[in-house]
Structure 1
Amino acid sequence: MPDGDNMNRILILAPAVVAVACSVAAQPPAPGAPAPVPLFSDGVIKSFTPADNPITDAKAKLGDMIFDEKRISTDNAIACNTCHSPRNGFTTHTETSRGVGDQLGKRNAPSILNAMFYKSMFWDGRAETLEEQATLPILNPIEMGQKDPTDVVAKLAAIPEFVEAFQQVFGHPVNWADMGKALAAFERTRLSTEAPFDRYLHGDEKALNASQRRGWALFTGKARCGTCHTYDAALPLFGDNRFHNTGAAAQKQDYNQLAARAARTAAAGSQAEKDKLALETDFSELGRFLTTQKKEDIGAFKTPFLRDVLLTGPYMHDGSLETLWDVVGFFNKGGERNPFLDAEMKPLGLSENEVDDLVNFLGALTSDRFGDLRAAELDRQRTAFLYRRAVQHQTANRGR
């Protein structure tokens, strides 16, 4: 039986968890609020924008229209923003995403915030550009379910506002290639803005509290987060644009057997077939290997940027870690052992207080325009984590 303290803790925490079970929604800034301070200069944005698809207001607006349009799915029920909701940090706050016919995929929907700065798209990098990435979900059987681009074009071409917008932006009728360009242009406008961490670096010592400052020291030191989530003052995204096996999926599969089967299946596969393997089969857990067929890429997934990470849980490629406390705890133990584990994955020896400090620092990477949400979401995640830990302790005590 659990002792009295454990039981009391569970009884106290349970109502709080019910009250904050859902992640806090990221609302637009209130009218009259100060304008967000850009994090990236116009020059930086231009340098990461392809010359054949410059961003214009009209093109980004058209991309936004397509992004919100449910009629591009087979059942007229799924839009891009279904899985990448602006209210949820451009993700879903669910482990994995549901598509047409309520089908459940294998991957967590990554946020599109700052996606323009990735060198390749999706968790496994199977798309090289945003233009390519933007249209693949439309043709995936369990996402939007369309079988052919011509079907999608025909649906949009029957909607007068899209006919007019395509003519205005591109000078010709609705077509598949320009759909991808418009969506990509819109996604390139979805960027994080200045956060408390940036104001601290610019000399505002009060922008971070003592716990967050200790967390920053841990991030660059004992916790070794910067090994993969690198900080570059010129492009301060906290990511290395590389792929790593952290062991997040190692408990689910025998990597060697899975890789042998996948190599036979994916070797001659088209892009659409690889997309299907990544989202519909157990081969999803092989990560980057599905694209490269290189043994060293087995179980490796892309390092996500950490800007606004507080708003985009649950975490990891499969959404298996609910809170940032779970994420730091996972890395604190050195990930999950497997034959292909990244060499940098080692136990960190962080104390509970140090874990708290590190999570508090990660919260300081939340854009100031979401400032009202920062404390609420930290509290929600902390409460959920503590409640689950209390239940686990109770279960363990019962088994003694």
Structure 2
Amino acid sequence: MNRIILPLLILGALFSCAEPSSLDKPLIYDQEDPNRPELMKKAQDVFQSVTPREYTPNPYEKVQLGKMLYFDNRLSKDGNISCNSCHNLETFGVDNLPTSPGDTHELGGRNSPTTLYAYMHRQQFWDGRAKDVEEQAGMPILNPVEHNIPSEEFLVARLKSIPEYVEKFAKVYGEQTHETLTFDHIGDAIGAFERRLNPRSRFDEYLDGNDEMLTALEKEGLTIFMDEGCTTCHSGVALGGSMIQKFGVYQDYWELTGSETIDNGLYDITKNESDRYLFKSPSLRNIEKTYPYFHDGSVDSLSTAVQIMAQTQLGKELEEEKVEKIVAFLKSLTATPDAELIAVKNRE
């Protein structure tokens, strides 16, 4: 009996230590693999993973300085808000409010978009009036409805009274210029921090070749998303953020959103009639978590937002089943920021 059992035990041990069978391995394809599924090929032609995306490299010290500024209430006149108040990194870079209260508790006129992936956008703000996150970072600081800082000089003088900031700005910018603590450098440091806010989602892993990262339902939603024309505005690495587009191509947006105020969009800046109701097409990354939707935060439901977009932008009324499949796909874009990067326990 023992002579039979012992060899069997040895064989069992060998098989238990063996490499997993091919059936146990994830289906990962190289970009040039001719066996890639057709859906993956099509998606890789339209979208881009955050993985190979190069952001402007910044020294660790600059990123940490930007983080300190991002969370600091002293960047508002009365110390009531920070950048993180409206763009809360614990809730995917938003505050989930239609519009946000500023330093004086007055509400802003538009929904606060997420700062996650924002550096990937071609322009900043709903009307695209800032060219990058560095320029954008300084503008709410001087806005009387937002941070309410009366002038650039006011904030620079305030931060220069804090020895730690003087030391940190000197360390980061000392080799570049004699004047290290400037308003432009404040925006530059905050931008350096925001350029690190680019977590990987399951959809990124799918684009990188792992076919098993999306469920069958999500793949159906991805197919519908592309076939129905949603990628006209929502493509590329950020799935949006690359163009200014009229909201309401086929139907006035407020008829469907129930917006209390009709926002003229870019027209308010240019006064060109052709710019009326033009807004930046937002990124769809983390869209599941960044409700309420649209420039005025007028819609809470993602399903409703998808249907409204189909009607206003594509002139289509999608079947409920298609909408829900698109929503399933959009949820694959959810990605949590790196906990260590956004942790504030060591904030000075």
Q: Indicate the TM-score class for this superposition, using the shorter chain for normalisation.
A: 0.7 to 0.9
Matched, 1:227 2:228: no
Which of 101, 107, 116 matches 1:98?
101
Which of 46, 51, 56 matches 1:40?
51
Residues 243 and 297, structure 1, Cα contact 8 Å, conserved in 2: no
- Aligned-pair CA distance for 1:213: 1.1
Matches within 5 A, 1:160-239: 160-171=163-174, 172-193=179-200, 195-222=201-228, 224-230=229-235, 232=236, 236-239=237-240
Which of 345, 349, 358 matches 2:317?
349
SS in 2 for 1:182: helix
- Aligned-pair CA distance for 1:251: 4.5
Provide Cα deviations, 1:83-111, integer angstroms capped at 9, x if missing partner. Answer: 01111111111001100121101111011
Letter in 2 for 1:241: S
Equivalent in the alignment of 1:141 = 144
- Find the aligned partners of 1:198 and 1:112 in 2 and give their Cα distance: 19
Bigger Rg over Cα = 2
Kindly report structure 1 stretches of 4+ aligned residues shifted beyond 4 Å.
Answer: none
Q: 1:355 to 1:187 in 2, by over 3 A?
A: same
Which segment drifts farther, 85-94 or 307-316?
307-316
Letter in 2 for 1:178: H
- Find the aligned partners of 2:63 and 2:110 in 1 and give their Cα distance: 27
Residues 198 and 337, structure 2, Cα contact 8 Å, conserved in 1: no
- Find the aligned partners of 2:153 and 2:253 in 1 and give their Cα distance: 37
Matches within 5 A, 1:303-342: 303-332=281-310, 334-335=311-312
Sequence identity of aligned pairs in percent? 35
- Aligned-pair CA distance for 1:217: 0.8
Equivalent in the alignment of 1:385 = none
Q: 1:100 to 1:297 in 2, by over 3 A?
A: same
Matched, 1:366 2:334: yes
Equivalent in the alignment of 1:71 = 74
- Find the aligned partners of 1:130 and 1:251 in 2 and give their Cα distance: 33
Letter in 2 for 1:356: E
Letter in 2 for 1:204: N
SS in 2 for 1:229: coil
Matched, 1:288 2:270: no
Q: 1:249 to 1:353 in 2, by over 3 A?
A: closer
Structure 1 segments unaligned to the other structure (5+ residues): 1-37, 253-281, 336-344, 371-400
- Find the aligned partners of 1:146 and 1:297 in 2 and give their Cα distance: 30
- Aligned-pair CA distance for 1:228: 1.1
Which of 124, 127, 137 matches 1:124?
127
- Find the aligned partners of 1:218 and 1:206 in 2 and give their Cα distance: 19
Q: Name the Cα RMSD after superposition.
A: 2.3
Matched, 1:302 2:280: yes
Letter in 2 for 1:324: L
Task: Give the TM-score normalised by the residue count of structure 2.
Answer: 0.75
SS in 1 for 2:50: coil
- Aligned-pair CA distance for 1:159: 1.5
- Find the aligned partners of 1:133 and 1:243 in 2 and give their Cα distance: 17
SS in 1 for 2:104: helix
Q: 1:322 to 1:365 in 2, by over 3 A?
A: same
Aligned residues: 280
- Aligned-pair CA distance for 1:346: 3.4
- In terms of fraction of residues, the more helix-rich structure is 1
Letter in 2 for 1:294: N
- Find the aligned partners of 2:100 and 2:334 in 1 and give their Cα distance: 24
SS in 2 for 1:226: helix
Structure 2 segments unaligned to the other structure (5+ residues): 1-48, 339-348
- Find the aligned partners of 1:249 and 1:156 in 2 and give their Cα distance: 43
- Aligned-pair CA distance for 1:369: 6.5
